Amino acid sequence: MTVLVASDLDRTLIYSAAALALTMPDARAPRLLCVEVHEAKPLSYMTETAARLLTELGDTAVFVPATTRTRKQYERINLPGPPAQYAICANGGHLLVDGVTDADWHARVQARLADECAPLAEVREHLLRSSDPVWVRKHRVAEDLFAYLVVERELLPADWVKELAVWAENRGWTVSLQGRKIYAVPKPLTKGAAVRELARRTGAELTLAAGDSLLDADLLLAADRGWRPGHGELADAGWSAPEVGALPERGVLAGERILGEFLGAARTAAVRGRG
């Protein structure tokens, strides 16, 4: 039986130092493995136990990283285990096959965005006009597909994100606040659509998924089973779905738990497939 496992990365499987949420005494903290270095500095981590589970998962299922990161940002990550044959970047805008963009998929995505959404230039102009340099640190456009801001959360006005979401909704866009980043993303640009395409290509009989943000909801709904950690936008909103497990773990230990759930479900499916 072919099992497809598609998982968000940041704050789902890998964590910055600020997002680790290590609440136990130092002597009991898990050993960490650095999986991303940027400008000669360690940036993202997972526990050593999670690294072992991911390696075992790669030998049991088709593992697909599914990230909102650009391709360049994704390439900085060095996950343990066998190299992923497939990866989803730019929230579904790029489907990588052995590290190379599938041009046909990207063209299909671009055509949908042109037909169904307000143009990126309009959204970017609104972000520039309505945001305040007092709390915005960076304005960014990702892969000419969507835009995001890097902000100081403690200075962000309480209702600004909600007001932006209402404005974006009427133009076919969605808004997500993740850590210090506010994303404005076209609604048809989803990880879920890319996962459904990969399930078709691989002939997967079971699809598993995990994610923590509102941009991951479609990914979770595209899978047969899914999990979300005890932190993040989905947890804060109390989001749930019948086949999605809401885990209590927060921070890097949630990533470890998610990989354990993936591996257990994939192994059970393999046994049933042999039966």
Question: What end-to-end distance do the CA atoms of the chain give, in Å?
Answer: 10
Residue 52 pLDDT: 98
Residue 179 pLDDT: 85
Q: Distances in Å between the alpha carbon of 200 and those of 24, 171, 205?
A: 43, 30, 9
Is 75 in contact with 18 (CB distance < 8 Å)? no
Enter the pTM of the model.
Answer: 0.94
How far is residue 255's CA from residue 207's CA, in Å, rounded to a whole number?
Answer: 18
Rg of the chain, C-alpha, whole Å: 18
How far is residue 67's CA from residue 7's CA, in Å, rounded to a whole number?
Answer: 8
Total Cβ atoms within 10 A of residue 173:
26
How far is residue 89's CA from residue 67's CA, in Å, rounded to a whole number?
Answer: 5
Residue 226 pLDDT: 98
Task: For the chain, 275 residues long, give each residue's pLDDT as a single digit of tens.
Answer: 899 999 999 999 999 999 999 999 999 999 999 999 999 999 999 999 999 999 999 999 999 999 999 999 999 999 999 999 999 999 999 999 999 999 999 999 999 999 999 999 999 999 999 999 999 999 999 999 999 999 999 999 999 999 999 999 999 999 999 889 999 999 999 999 999 999 999 999 999 999 999 999 999 999 999 999 999 999 999 999 999 999 999 999 999 999 999 999 999 998 887 76
Ramachandran angles phi, psi of 22, nearest 5°: -85, 100
Is 229 in contact with 247 (CB distance < 8 Å)? yes
Q: Distances in Å between the alpha carbon of 89 and those of 47, 56, 83, 104?
A: 23, 23, 15, 15
